[in-house]
A and B are shown apart, each in its own frame.
Chain A
Amino acid sequence: AQSVTQPDIHITVSEGASLELRCNYSYGATPYLFWYVQSPGQGLQLLLKYFSGDTLVQGIKGFEAEFKRSQSSFNLRKPSVHWSDAAEYFCAVGWFDGGSQGNLIFGKGTKLSVKP
């Protein structure tokens, strides 16, 4: 069965420190992957996406992610966190298996807190 795991429920980092949020998926077909961010009471904003090609992708707000097929991972990174980055982050995965592109499997999310 298809699944997406974000092993860290809550992470706290100091402002200016680096950040890495983990995401792993399981399923045999070729995936396409996303990271979304959600502020309290809001919808989901797309940070970045990977469909094919270069496995290191750049997104908005200084975020980047690297797709590692051998590890079934798509970790999100940022070199220097800002207080405004505090939010909940969701990894989402779809699969090129003939299904619809709108059916994504989401992880349970990682809540990021930023210490001043």
Chain B
Amino acid sequence: DAGVTQSPTHLIKTRGQQVTLRCSPKSGHDTVSWYQQALGQGPQFIFQYYEEEERQRGNFPDRFSGHQFPNYSSELNVNALLLGDSALYLCASTLYRAYNSPLHFGNGTRLTVT
């Protein structure tokens, strides 16, 4: 049973560039959430996708956008990268509004902006 998979594992980008991160949810899950974890901090919620729509959004600017595909996989896009966007980006999956279904996390994508 495959868990949550993310790609790539590491990425180095230059300030001002754009980046796309990818996530495949755990088998059987239909909802994907994205989190940003800065060094030494806890993860912060970016947004959540269900049925190919953004359902909830955290306190992140419009430079952060996403997409969910019919097979439930998801992408996180960040435009006009800033140095402060350097972080570990975590994808998590679950069943929508199934409160007994905890989030399952991938190993993350480490983004470095230079």
B43 A90 Cβ-Cβ under 8 A? yes
B105 A43 Cβ-Cβ under 8 A? yes
A-B contact count (CB 8 A): 78
Residues on B with beta carbons closer than 8 Å to the beta carbon of A51: 99-100
Of B12-20, B65-73, B75-83, B90-98, the one contacting chain A is B90-98
Q: Which of A44, A101, A108 contacts B96 (CB 8 A)?
A: A101
Q: A42-B107, A43-B108 are in contact. Are A101 and B99 (CB under 8 A)?
A: yes
**Nearest residue, chain B, Cβ from A49:** B102
- Complex Cα distance, B106 from A107, in Å, reads 19
A104 interface residue, CB < 8 Å from B? yes
Q: Name 27 A/B residue pairs within 8 A (Cβ), A-sorted.
A: A4-B42, A32-B99, A34-B102, A34-B103, A42-B108, A43-B4, A43-B108, A51-B100, A90-B42, A94-B99, A99-B56, A100-B31, A100-B33, A100-B50, A100-B56, A100-B97, A101-B96, A101-B103, A102-B33, A102-B45, A102-B55, A103-B56, A104-B43, A107-B42, A108-B40, A108-B42, A109-B42
- Complex Cα distance, B92 from A36, in Å, reads 13
B55 A43 Cβ-Cβ under 8 A? no
